[in-house]
Amino acid sequence: MSSGTVGAAEPAGAQAGPPAGPPTEPSAGPSAGPSAGPPAGRTGSAAPPAARRGAVRVPRWAPALAAAGLAVAAYAAYAAFQGTATLPHDDDAAPFRIVADLRAWADAERNRSPFFLFLVNYVRLGVGSVHDLLHLVLHGLGWAGLAGCAGALGWLAGGARTGLLAMAGFGAFGVLGVWQASVDTLALVLAAVLLSLAVGLPLGVWAGLSPRLRRLLTPLLDVMQIMPTFAYLAPMVLLFQIGPAAATVATMVYAIPPAIRITALAVEQVSPAAVEASESLGATRAQTLRGVRLPLARGTIGLAAGQTIMMALSMVVIAALIAAPGLGSDVIRGLSRADVGLMLPAGLAIVAMAVVLDRVVTAAARPPYEEALGPGAAARRSRVRRAAAGALAATGILLGRVLPAEFPGAWALDFAGPVNDAVDWAKTSWYGLTQAVGGAVAEGLLNPLQTVLTEAPWWLVAAVALAIGWRTGGPRPAAVATGCLLATALLGLWQHTMETLTTVLVAVALTLLAGLVLGVAAARSPRFAAVQRPLLDAAQTLPAFVYLLPALALFGATRFTAIFASVVYAVPAVARLVEEGVRNVAPGAVEAALSCGSTERQLLWKVRLPMARPALLLAANQGIVMTLAMVVVGGLVGAGGLGYDVVSGFSQRSDFGMGFAAGVATVLLGITLDRITQGAGRRPLTRTST
Amino acid sequence: MASPDGAAIEVRGLWKIFGPRADRVLGGPDAGLDPVALRERTGCVAAVRDVGFTVRPGEVFVVMGLSGSGKSTLVRCLTRLVEPTAGEISIAGEDVRAASPARLRDLRRNRVSMVFQHFGLLPHRRVLDNVAYGLEIQGVPRARRHERAREMLTLVGLEGFAETLPDRLSGGMQQRVGLARALATGPEVLLFDEPFSALDPLIRRDMQTEVVRLHREVGTTMLFITHDLSEALKLGERIAVMRAGEIVQTGTAEELVGSPADEYVADFVRDVPRGDVLSLRWICRDSADGERPGETALPAETVIRDAVPAVLHSDLPVRVVQDGRPIGVVDRRDVLSALAGLPGAAS
């Protein structure tokens, strides 16, 4: 209610003005004096002139003119200095050697230094044993036991439909012929998720209650989330060596931020009225937490758990780079050999696992009071569910004892052959089209842009970044962005950074274009939205690398594959944000515009899009971050640049230093782009408040 | 129940300033500035400014003001849901501002209850458990607290809804649950923060009647916040009008309408039908030369509208009597012009 009083203080004061204003009333009282603004006022004379000075307007065309001038200057500088002060790539740069030496040192210290002996090695041991235990139990249940237990959990959480879905999903692992790998992956994911939740949920609740802790955590979580997954694999290897333990920790780093963030948000945003009522009745903090905040936040905390699972699953493939067992390694092998038939079953199994885990967790988290059931019916239903789940689990475990643990090979379908045939057919018969599209993008966009970026002197690129950052976000973000960009040069990766920047820029442009068109279309036509929404839903729940599959099948291992995959990956989020932004424009404004006789087109261009500006900028920012993450993944399929450096850093020990540095450079590039675009999103707010 | 000095709530020099370094603003010269200037100079907002009032035990005291006048902040300061910046508050003899967290909790648990504009019900609990929540917090065993909660539900007319979830009830019924929850702890003081503003007019009138009835039955001291003048006039024995954090005037409905302290209050009460609020005291006059008052006499406290039949039936001016002494006369013309709200009728 404090904001209510703050906001309303102005009208109250404004009312004070008119009656007290005329100078004919000398005894108007000191309180009304300054707002009337006659020159006599002692305290008032300081403020109004300053306010007036701030209100001096720059002509509308001035910024545009300045921008055009800068662009011309930049082009002239490019023409004059092209080819000078470029920083060509060197595989043996000093930073790479330093990192390689660091790894040698860490390997030597592993059993000597107390830091490793008493901290790192214990973490490795603890995390590793959680994983090993789950691995043992899951394999020990046998395929029938595991499927039965999954079905039972699903039934318990969401009734028959969820239970059957869970069983079908687990059955699919076997039918796809990847049962062993799926269970390995499941063990890894469960270990990472359980540990993430064990740490993340309490921390999130605490952060929701304590603004101080939240302020402390926010920058840390920002870094964890903006950091492309590749970037922290190398440090993991440095500390924990390769294997399941390192993979679990890496997955945790990736999966924990949403657990903490969403939980904190849920606890913090519980209806203030309910919290206040509880406090007014004399509840202690603990009582309010237990009786009000946690029950009301339950659904959202379930969402946090679901999100954590999704994040953990999308790390599965990347974690395979540091020798995590399971489906991920099939995918990596398939990607590196452009063998779609090898990838597809593993990819489908990951999708099935994602769907099952997501449904079960969401169903379990749904607050029972939101379902329209009387208390008696609810109790009856939960009895039925418990009975069904118990029977299912018991049957499964018994069957698991009797049947062999191995999924019967006769039930598995053979995918690799037919899939590869189909891919070959698609490749040859659509060769002309795919070649033309890929070629056009490469020749028309990628190559020219890459030439400009790599051949321009480094200082010119930095200066342009500074100018754009300054224009969109002001001096501070511009300085941060430029600093990060220049730091990649210090890492010895300037040229590869420019190559990656090229693919990112092209992918972002295509993503924004597609996202804007789809989002606006969906906002304007409910029918289109109804068709598009489930597609977007499905697309957003898929793990990221899945988008590489069709791209790889159609376009082979090229830069365009990486771009295509990242566009497909990022478009759903962007389209959705655009749609929501355009649709949620204040209905009053839309109504007012309609009542003035605006056409649909005028409504869109004059009201909806301008008013949705913050949402559009958010969409752009989101699109850039997602695209960057994906373009780096594209290093696996021949996108070159930083992504390729990272991948080869893991596969060849001699390249470890370069891979490590490339991971850092990716982060720096991400921060650069994020600062520039986030500044653009924040700008209108700062402008109105000053 | 009553404190030594006989007041249920006593507030003196209460300030609440939101913003950076609020306590400094208070001590300095800026405290006297009007809200706009204050915000410009210090970035602070003074939501409550030097407020003082006394509520007698068993009284219904209404604080009325437009939104943003600081009344909701004021009521939250009373139990320190919002920490006041300065001032003294005593509720039933307890110095609220000096109370330790434990004593404050005790005060909130046993002596003061609050009813909120947006109800503040817990959607995941049955109505019964919502009503029993305050007792649950105190550690009252389940059977006892449920029994008490059922009594309260009967009191507010919600028997039969104990097992329902609050979301399934209408707004008016939800607020009855809030009321029952506040009553369940048996408080000495009930605080109402615009409890009926979110309800539609018909239900609001029902609920106002309900509060009047409860006050008659339970006799609790009530402090009632509202922005609705007619609600204030209907419920309040005394009314404090707030504006920009300050109390402009405190008095009975009759005093506010009859002699508003300033333009603001006058503006506020302009549309109130005077005949329904003012008593004969406000319109009686000395009898003119040669005018002979009739036999009929009315007490000075009679509301003007209630005097109409007597005045109609008397051809001569009616005598107005206070404590047995005649203080003047009124005739048909005086009553008519007062009812019609003509100028000069009641000033």
Using an 8 Å CB-CB cutoff, list chain B residues near A284: 105, 137
Question: Taking CB atoms and an 8 Å limit, are B109 and A287 in contact across chains?
Answer: no
Question: Taking CB atoms and an 8 Å limit, are B133 and A281 in contact across chains?
Answer: yes
Question: Taking CB atoms and an 8 Å limit, are A9 and B108 in contact across chains?
Answer: no
Question: Taking CB atoms and an 8 Å limit, are B40 and A47 in contact across chains?
Answer: yes
| Nearest C-alpha neighbor of A149 from the set A365, A382, A395 | A395
Class at the top of the CATH hierarchy for domain A115-366+383-424: mainly alpha
Residue B120 is nearest to which of A47, A277, A375, comparing CB atoms? A277
pLDDT for position A39: 40
- Of B211, B235, B268, the residue at which a domain comes to its end is B268
Residues B193 and B309 grouped into a single domain: no
Structure tokens at A130: 């959680």
Q: Which ipTM score applies to this complex?
A: 0.74
Residue of A nearest to B191 (CA): A280
Dist CA B166 CA B130 (whole Å): 8
Confidence of residue A14 (pLDDT cuts 50, 70, 90): very low
Residues B184 and B303 grouped into a single domain: no
Dist CA B14 CA B26 (whole Å): 11
- Of B243, B268, B293, the residue at which a domain comes to its end is B268
Confidence of residue B145 (pLDDT cuts 50, 70, 90): very high
B108–chain A nearest CA distance, Å: 5
Question: Taking CB atoms and an 8 Å limit, are B123 and A278 in contact across chains?
Answer: no
At residue A601, does pLDDT exceed 70? Answer: yes
Say which residue, A108 or A179, is predicted with more confidence.
A179
Residues B298 and B214 grouped into a single domain: no
Residues B264 and B318 grouped into a single domain: no
Residue B104 in any domain: the answer is yes
Residue B45 is nearest to which of A5, A16, A43, comparing CB atoms? A5
Q: Which of A25, A280, A370 to mutate to test the interface with B (most CBs of B within 10 A)?
A: A280
pLDDT tens, position by position, A36-78: 333 433 443 444 444 444 445 666 677 777 778 888 888 888 8
Residues B228 and B284 grouped into a single domain: no
A343–chain B nearest CA distance, Å: 46
A-to-B residue pairs, Cβ atoms closer than 8 angstroms: 148
Using an 8 Å CB-CB cutoff, list chain A residues near B124: 295-296, 298, 367, 369
Residue B310 in any domain: the answer is yes
**Is residue A39 packed enough to be buried (19+ CB in 10 Å), middle (13-18) or exposed (0-12)?**
exposed
Task: Determine the average pLDDT of the residues in A9-15.
Answer: 38
Using an 8 Å CB-CB cutoff, list chain A residues near B76: 1
> Rounded to the nearest 5°, which phi and psi values hold at A650?
-85, -30
Residue B35 is nearest to which of A13, A284, A369, comparing CB atoms? A13
Residue of B nearest to A294 (CA): B124
pLDDT for position B210: 87
Residues B119 and B253 grouped into a single domain: yes
A41–chain B nearest CA distance, Å: 12
CATH number of the domain within which B224 lies? 3.40.50.300
Using an 8 Å CB-CB cutoff, list chain B residues near A278: 120, 122, 133, 137
Question: Taking CB atoms and an 8 Å limit, are B34 and A31 in contact across chains?
Answer: yes
Confidence of residue A16 (pLDDT cuts 50, 70, 90): very low
State the average pLDDT for chain B: 85
pLDDT tens, position by position, A362-390: 788 776 655 555 556 767 777 888 888 88
Q: Which of B15, B30, B33, B36 to mutate to test the interface with A (most CBs of A within 10 A)?
A: B36
Using an 8 Å CB-CB cutoff, list chain A residues near B72: 1, 4-5
- Please name the residues in contact with A355: beta carbons below 8 A apart, sequence gap of 6 or more: A165, A169, A541
Can you give the residue range of the structural domain that contains B285? Answer: 274-340
pLDDT tens, position by position, B71-123: 889 999 998 888 898 899 999 888 999 999 889 888 888 889 999 888 888 88
Question: Taking CB atoms and an 8 Å limit, are B120 and A291 in contact across chains?
Answer: no
Q: Which helix (H) or strand (E) holds B55?
A: strand B45-55
Task: Determine the average pLDDT of the residues in B284-293.
Answer: 79
At residue A555, does pLDDT exceed 90? Answer: no
At residue A1, does pLDDT exceed 60? Answer: no
Confidence of residue A680 (pLDDT cuts 50, 70, 90): low
Using an 8 Å CB-CB cutoff, list chain A residues near B185: 281
A19–chain B nearest CA distance, Å: 10
Cβ atoms of B257 and B287 within 8 Å: the answer is no
Dist CA B186 CA B73 (whole Å): 24
Residue B346 in any domain: the answer is no
Residue B18 is nearest to which of A6, A30, A291, comparing CB atoms? A6
pLDDT for position A374: 59
Question: Taking CB atoms and an 8 Å limit, are B116 and A276 in contact across chains?
Answer: yes
Using an 8 Å CB-CB cutoff, list chain A residues near B114: 277, 280-281
Residue B84 in any domain: the answer is no
Residue of A nearest to B81 (CA): A280
Dist CA A270 CA A507 (whole Å): 39
Q: Which helix (H) or strand (E) holds B113?
A: strand B112-115
pLDDT for position B11: 92
% of chain B surpassing 90 pLDDT: 20
Identity (one letter) of the amino acid at B197? S
Identity (one letter) of the amino acid at B40? E
Q: Where in chain A are the domains?
A: 115-366+383-424, 430-685
Confidence of residue B221 (pLDDT cuts 50, 70, 90): very high
Residues B130 and B226 grouped into a single domain: yes
State the average pLDDT for chain A: 78
Residue B68 is nearest to which of A11, A278, A284, comparing CB atoms? A11
Q: 3-state SS of B263-302?
A: HHHHHHCCCCCHHHHCEHHHCCECCCCCCCCCCCEEECCC
Residue of B nearest to A293 (CA): B122
B192–chain A nearest CA distance, Å: 12
Residues B200 and B315 grouped into a single domain: no
Using an 8 Å CB-CB cutoff, list chain B residues near A369: 123-124, 165, 167
Residues B165 and B296 grouped into a single domain: no
Count how many domains chain B has.
2
pLDDT for position A438: 79
A259–chain B nearest CA distance, Å: 23
CATH number of A430-685: 1.10.3720.10
B243–chain A nearest CA distance, Å: 8
Residues B157 and B204 grouped into a single domain: yes
- Of B221, B237, B268, the residue at which a domain comes to its end is B268
Lowest mean pLDDT: which of A60-74, A122-136, A569-583, B53-67?
A60-74
Residues B150 and B296 grouped into a single domain: no
Q: What b/e sequence results for B303-326 when a residue is b if at least 16 CB atoms lie within 10 Å of its CB, and e otherwise?
A: ebbebeebbeebeebbbbbeeeee
% of chain A surpassing 90 pLDDT: 6
Residues B170 and B199 grouped into a single domain: yes
Say which residue, A434 or A500, is predicted with more confidence.
A500
Residue B202 in any domain: the answer is yes
B237–chain A nearest CA distance, Å: 25
CATH number of the domain within which B298 lies? 3.10.580.10
Residue B24 in any domain: the answer is no
pLDDT for position A285: 87
Dist CA B96 CA B79 (whole Å): 7
Lowest mean pLDDT: which of A182-191, A246-255, B234-243, B282-291?
B282-291
Using an 8 Å CB-CB cutoff, list chain A residues near B122: 274, 278, 291-292, 295-296
